[in-house]
Amino acid sequence: MPRPILLKSIEPVTHDTYRLECERPDGYDFRPGQATDLALDREGWRDQTRPFTFTSQPEDPRLEFVIKTYPAHHGVTSEVATLIPGEKLLIGLPWGAIHDSGPGVFIAGGAGVTPFIPILRRRARDGTLSGCHLVFANKSENDIILRKEWERMENLRTTFPVDDDNPALPHGPVTAEMLERFVGNFDRVFYFCGPPAMQEPVMAALHALGVDDSRIVQEDKPDDAERARLFDA
């Protein structure tokens, strides 16, 4: 049964991404990288659940979400952008297979970076980012979520491919050639979370570079419709 939680604050992170801080129900626990099904406690929206990742830590007193909005789709995330503190959200139980399996390469596309936010923040806090590399692909430089935070993290390598022509950043998409150029060492753990269009190319690139499935951490291989719920909300 969904639990109501109070929205304490909402603030922009990028032009279309927001940070939500919410009260945390007593006894509610989760693991860094996990998500929950969330709905808005508004008329006509209570049964419109979407998966969003916790970006706070399990021990934090409040729950945090970083949510990318898609205003043109007129869906749940377009409503998120209109929320005000004091409103309520509805959350289900935590779920998700992405978890910290050691230092490695974190490959993300757009909103797919959210499971890696609590994992990398925790490593930054504990001083264990050595050997970690974030490859975060976006449409443009303005879409890079939490870029300054990533660049401040000591020992975290970052690569920010973008689709548009930007001389300061690598040109996307993420391919085997790009990974060979910027990553180099493939004898380690690879994490991946991205939209449906990235799934097959990135997995094919990793396999071509000798990374087998036992060293790839990703969500439980959802079908295209389920994966699209995260990136087309």
The DSSP string of 73-134 is GTSHHHHHTT--TT-EEEEEEEE-S----SSEEEEEEGGGGTTHHHHHHHHHHHT--TTEEE
CATH code matching the domain that covers 3-95, chosen among 1.10.3810.10, 2.40.30.10, 3.40.640.10, 3.30.470.30? 2.40.30.10
Token pair 């087309």: residue: 232
Domain-by-domain residue ranges, the chain?
A: 3-95, 104-231
The pTM (predicted TM-score) of the whole model is: 0.92
Maximum Cα interatomic distance, the chain, rounded to a whole number of Å: 51
CATH of domain 104-231: 3.40.50.80
The amino acid sitting at 121 is R
| Number of residues assigned to the chain | 233
- What are the C-alpha distances in Å from 129 to residues 64, 102, 119, 176, 214? 22, 10, 10, 24, 22
pLDDT one-digit tens code per residue, 56-71:
999 999 999 999 998 7
SS3 189: strand
pLDDT one-digit tens code per residue, 71-126:
777 789 999 999 999 999 999 999 999 999 999 999 999 999 999 999 999 999 99
